[in-house]
Amino acid sequence: MRLLGGRWRLLIVSYLINGPKRFSALRRCIPAISQRMLTLDLRALEEAGLVTRTIFPTVPATVEYALAADGDRLVPVVDAMRAFGLWLKEREAGQDPEDP
């Protein structure tokens, strides 16, 4: 549980499910996260073997993050979290039908 305890880690994983992303692209996806926190979270996910980091020898170097094979284990967690998040958003936005 501790591995996913960070506020942003599951969110980071959710953005990687759709395909590899550069550091800068992840930052654009999650504007509220600091550069330092994103670095630390990605490192923790990498050390747990859930995310891979690939460095491309461009100038300047391009660093791409992707979900590792084991990272697929997180898909059900992200899905369940996403469904809950949508329900919460709808509940906040919608009016109670019994209370017109």
Residues at the site binding its own copies, with contacts judged by CB under 8 A: 1-8, 10-11, 48, 70, 73-74, 76-77, 79-81, 83-85, 87-88, 91
In angstroms, rounded to a whole number, what is the distance separating the alpha carbons of residues 62 and 24?
10
CB of 85 to its own copies, least distance (A): 5
CB nearer to its own copies: pick between 5 and 94: 5
CB nearer to its own copies: pick between 62 and 87: 87
In angstroms, rounded to a whole number, what is the distance separating the alpha carbons of residues 2 and 17?
21
